[in-house]
Chain A
Amino acid sequence: MAYPPAARSSPPRQPSVKVILASADVQRVVDRIAHQILEKTQGAADTVLLGIPTRGAPLARRLASRISTFEDIAVPVGVLDITLYRDDLRRHATRAIGPTQVPTGGIDGKRVILVDDVLFSGRTVRAALDALNDVGRPASVQLAVLVDRGHRELPIRADYVGKNIPTSLAESVKVTLAETDGADEVKLYGGTR
């Protein structure tokens, strides 16, 4: 005998939203990463910034422009699309592929800094390393991310981290940028707290 489902005593809980970084914070964080890159690479010589679409690409351009403001150094910037290198390509409907733009001069023998918005499982970065392998042979590869939210599934870590955000797997982190979404912000959408 089937019972009708019990009426819920309370309305479904609204997922909580928390602003982690506001617009000015995002700018400060990008400035700091730019300084750290300059410090750690002794002036960003032979360095190439490659952004991973979608939001890694404008972040890489911002870092380059901050670096040129701080030290008057022009760092080549490019875009590295990783769609065709994803390990979950076959689990989803076909994804549209994005542009890959390798700066003139290439990446052979250079220090490549991959730039992405959120570091999570590490699978995107693994795919990016594979993609990089087909584009050239850099001298070394580093990783810069705006947000590290933990929960790595692969042995990958970032060299430059804007903000460490401890999260639970039920939560999600959403980065918006002026170039792609109209405003700079990092938000944490909550599971149950």
Chain B
Amino acid sequence: MIKHLLSGGDLDADAATEILDTAAEMATVAGREIKKLPALRGRTVVNLFYEDSTRTRISFEAAAKRLSADVINFSAKGSSVTKGESLKDTALTLQAMGADAVVVRHPASGAPHRLANWVDGSVVNAGDGTHEHPTQALLDAYTMRSRLGRLAGLSVAVVGDVLHSRVARSNVLLLSTLGAKVTLVGPPTLIPVDIAAALAPGTDVSYDLDSALPNVDVVMMLRVQRERMNDSYFPSAREYARRYGLDGPRMRRLPEHAIVMHPGPMNRGMEITPEVADSPRSTIVEQVTNGVSVRMAVLYLLLGGNNR
């Protein structure tokens, strides 16, 4: 097993499958009366969050606690960061406190990679800027595998704001490693030129959602990240919703077995309508549940043994 999890591309097919298999066992713990395992007793996991997050932070916290690790939550608001402390000094502080793993979310792409050079413990990337979010890709792959039974040969459409999406990048890397075929769909302004070739050869790009829908097993809708948009990437929200939003009629054109995913948080009415989000095809709530199991697996595989 690797020491850090920084990118969806860090994992080869065997390592990724090991994480998914371990997650499947971790999931059985959630059904027990005592949802606790002693595997990481005495280990310290620091959640270092420089950006707002609900599900990822809580998910990592729940995962670490279910494995009996001690969890320290750090959010930039209300910390010495507001006094001007640098990432490196914060990292050295955590190091001095004996953190065995640092789960980091940061608005700057590449911050976890820098951090990995400064601390002795494992670093898990929980989302860096517009770059990567590997545990989200793992939980998405887990959800696809548990709903559809396999990953190899699946056709996955990743739809929307690819430009700002770390979820999309990690998913393309991981899914192509695991043998799925990814098509990136969105307006030309939100799909970087050459992104497909740069991430994984074999990835397709389409600017037309309707033509992509009838042939896919999975539709993954991405959140339109208005907080990162300092340009006008599309004329209006209504036009975006009409061309790239997933609504009831579009969902009915999907193959019978196809599932609809969204990493959350959703802009209901923008990229996805409530009818689709709340339909039985939607795995959005399931993804959150699976997130805890997948993060338990990642933390166990990084910290459980003597991998130093």
Contact = CB atoms under 8 A, between A and B. Distances in A.
Interface of A: 81, 84-85, 89-100, 130, 133-136
A95 B304 CA distance: 8
A90 B32 contact: no
A97 B307 contact: no
A81 B24 CA distance: 13
Most B CB atoms within 10 A — which of A84, A99, A134? A84
A87 to B, nearest CB: 10
A97 to B, nearest CB: 5
9 contacts: A81-B25, A84-B39, A89-B39, A90-B304, A90-B305, A94-B300, A94-B304, A100-B28, A134-B32
A5 B99 CA distance: 47
B249 interface: no
B1 interface: yes
Nearest to A127: B38
Contact of A94 (B32, B34, B67, B307): B307
A85 B38 contact: yes
Nearest to B301: A94
Contacts of A100: 25, 28
Contact of B305 (A92, A133, A135): A92
Contact of B37 (A92, A96, A134, A136): A134
B307 A93 contact: yes
Majority DSSP secondary structure for residues of A touching B: loop
Contacts of A98: 25
Interface size class of B (residues with CB under 8 A): 20 to 34
B308 to A, nearest CB: 10
B38 A94 contact: no
Given A84-B300, A91-B306, A97 B25 contact: yes
Contacts of B305: 89-90, 92-95
Nearest to B26: A97
A130 B38 contact: yes
Nearest to B42: A90
Nearest to B35: A134
Contacts of B37: 84-85, 134
Contacts of B203: none
B83 to A, nearest CB: 37
B22 A97 contact: yes
Contacts of A99: 25
B18 interface: yes
A126 B143 CA distance: 35
B18 A96 contact: yes
Interface in B34-51: 34, 36-39
A93 B306 contact: yes
B36 A134 contact: yes
A130 B39 CA distance: 12
A90 B43 CA distance: 11
Nearest to A91: B306
A68 to B, nearest CB: 26
Contacts of B21: 96
